[in-house]
Amino acid sequence: MLENQLGAVWLTGEISNFSQPVSGHWYLSLKDENAQVRCAMFRMKNLRVSFRPINGMQVLVRANVSLYEPRGDYQLIIESMHLAGEGLLMQQFEALKLKLAAEGLFAQHLKKNLPHFSKAVGIITSKTGAALQDILHILQRRDPSLKIIIYPTAVQGKDAATEIAQMIELANQRQEVDVLIVGRGGGSLEDLWCFNEEMVARAIFHSHLPVISAVGHETDVTIADFVADVRAPTPSAAAELVSRNQTELLQQLQYRRQRLEIALDRLFAEKQQKLRHLSLRLHNQHPQAQLRIQQQLITQLSHRLQQSLRHRWQKKAENLTALSMRLYKNPLPLRIQQYEQQLAQLKVRLNSHMNLTLSLQQKQLAHLCGKLDSLSPLKVLARGYSITQNQQNFTIRSMKDVNVGEQIKTRLPDGDIISQVIRLEEK
């Protein structure tokens, strides 16, 4: 077909005979000083046009050649329509976009990440523009501690692109900020054109600092948006990206403080329990405690010894009484003599056994008394040591147990010394 053979064409001309029936389609003619051609733009296409066409308006259109068969007339089916000047700019925009994309300036893997916490932010924009005031207001509200450095530049006009590129290079040379915001407020395509210049795009691409593009409104798209590491829909949105919300930071700090307090409480409880355990072990291993245990053991052994001796003596006495009775009842002198001899032998054995048992028990008792005496605090004092106590009669084991000016008592084998603390000296 004719449309497929010729393809899309670009055409500039003056609008005439414009009409819009109830269907919503546009019908018009494009003319110049030499010729004119019928055109049609269907409703789904003309909804994308940002202006209302009127007769006499110069426009740039992209269209396909078609044949209107009922009349046998050739006509153009318009795909897009721009004002004549804006349309040329769009052509330049698309051409530069394709060129830079082919060179890899839009590659996602080459884009730098924004710092998690920025200490200083650089702003490249007009020092008199409303965008700067919006950025400063949001930064002051969200993060007053953030350092702000302004790199003033023109953002409109023929020299604006050069100044923007120079300020980007200057910020990279100084290395005094963590991130750069490059942008301005909204405007027409011509007003924003400096951010579509190739030199600005390459300056952003070669920047070692992360760059946020914040040009115009959310619907505005520039070449700088494609090259920048991050695109913000508005300058205010860029300010929110680089600033920290103080309320959120305070909430995070409070949450971490609570976690720290819980951890400290748990650690303190564990250490306190361990201290109680060690104190109990120390108390059980103290010499006084060991001495009490040994004293109790000696008392038990002495009591058991006395009971054993009494039991044996009683048993031997009972046996002797029984033998005496049996001997008394036996009338035969021989048996009496035998029994007397046996009795004498038993008495000797009993005395010998009792003396032996008593001697062994006495030796054991003397040994235990010796051990008890070696553990006695008085024995320690006899070797030249002394025991110092405070006014509450508690033994002083550390400098922390006594204060300057306090009276203390030093126990010696032959008496006590009462003294007063003048000063404390640490090792």
Q: Is the pLDDT at 83 greater than 70, yes or no?
A: yes
**pLDDT value at position 85?**
64
pLDDT digits (tens, 9 = 90+) for 113-146: 888 888 899 999 988 888 888 888 988 888 888 8
**Span 178-198, mean pLDDT?**
85
**Span 260-285, mean pLDDT?**
84
CB atoms within 10 A of CB 232: 22
Name the maximum alpha-carbon separation found in the chain: 182
pLDDT digits (tens, 9 = 90+) for 29-46: 999 888 899 999 999 999
Angle at which helices 287-329 and 333-375 pack, to 10 degrees?
170
CB atoms within 10 A of CB 141: 13
Structure tokens at 271: 């250490």
**pLDDT value at position 275?**
87
**pLDDT value at position 41?**
94
Q: Is the pLDDT at 412 greater than 70, yes or no?
A: yes
CB atoms within 10 A of CB 169: 13
**pLDDT value at position 379?**
64
Q: Give the C-alpha separation, 181 to 209, whole Å.
A: 10
Give the contacts of 242 (CB within 8 A, at least 6 positions apart): 114, 118, 121, 139, 146, 179, 181, 212
**pLDDT value at position 402?**
81
Chain centroid, CA 144 distance in Å? 23
Q: Is the pLDDT at 167 greater than 90, yes or no?
A: yes
Q: Give the C-alpha separation, 268 to 399, whole Å.
A: 25
**Span 401-408, mean pLDDT?**
82
Q: Is the pLDDT at 10 greater than 90, yes or no?
A: no
Q: What's the predicted TM-score (pTM) here?
A: 0.46
Predicted confidence band at 202 (pLDDT cuts at 50, 70, 90)? Answer: very high
Comparing 167 with 328, the larger pLDDT belongs to 167
Q: Is the pLDDT at 320 greater than 90, yes or no?
A: no
Q: Is the pLDDT at 198 greater than 60, yes or no?
A: yes
**pLDDT value at position 293?**
79
Share the mean pLDDT of the chain. Answer: 84
**Span 45-69, mean pLDDT?**
86
8 A C-beta contact, residue 182 and residue 125: yes
8 A C-beta contact, residue 242 and residue 118: yes
Predicted confidence band at 77 (pLDDT cuts at 50, 70, 90)? Answer: very high
Q: Is the pLDDT at 276 greater than 90, yes or no?
A: no
Q: Is the pLDDT at 287 greater than 60, yes or no?
A: yes
**pLDDT value at position 87?**
60
**pLDDT value at position 245?**
67
Predicted confidence band at 330 (pLDDT cuts at 50, 70, 90)? Answer: low
Q: What angle do CA 325, 330, 335 make, to 5 degrees?
A: 110
- Reduce the secondary structure of the chain to three states and give it as a string: CHHHHHCEEEEEEEEEEEECCCCCCEEEEEECCCCEEEEEECHHHHCCCCCCCCCCCEEEEEEEEEEECCCCEEEEEEEEEEEHHHHHHHHHHHHHHHHHHHHCCCCHHHCCCCCCCCCEEEEEECCCCHHHHHHHHHHHHHCCCCEEEEEECCCCCCCHHHHHHHHHHHHHHHCCCCEEEEEECCCCCCCCHHHHCHHHHHHHHCCCCCEEEEECCCCCCCHHHHHCCEECCCHHHHHHHHCCCHHHHHHHHHHHHHHHHHHHHHHHHHHHHHHHHHHHHHHHCCHHHHHHHHHHHHHHHHHHHHHHHHHHHHHHHHHHHHHHHHHHHCCCHHHHHHHHHHHHHHHHHHHHHHHHHHHHHHHHHHHHHHHHHHHCHHHHHHCCCCEEECCCCCECCCHHHCCCCCEEEEEECCEEEEEECCCCCCC
pLDDT digits (tens, 9 = 90+) for 288-303: 777 777 888 888 888 8
> Which percentage of the chain shows pLDDT scores above 70?
90
Q: Is the pLDDT at 97 greater than 70, yes or no?
A: yes
Domain ranges across the chain = 2-90, 104-244, 287-375, 382-420
Comparing 228 with 249, the larger pLDDT belongs to 228
Beta strand pairing status for 147-152 and 179-184? unpaired
Predicted confidence band at 55 (pLDDT cuts at 50, 70, 90)? Answer: confident
Q: Give the C-alpha separation, 396 to 408, whole Å.
A: 9
Predicted confidence band at 331 (pLDDT cuts at 50, 70, 90)? Answer: low
**pLDDT value at position 372?**
74
Structure tokens at 63: 């269209």
**Span 86-99, mean pLDDT?**
76
Comparing 180 with 97, the larger pLDDT belongs to 180
Q: Write the class of the CATH domain 104-244.
A: alpha beta
**pLDDT value at position 382?**
61
8 A C-beta contact, residue 240 and residue 231: no
Task: Classify domain 2-90 by CATH number.
Answer: 2.40.50.140
Q: Give the C-alpha separation, 269 to 283, whole Å.
A: 21
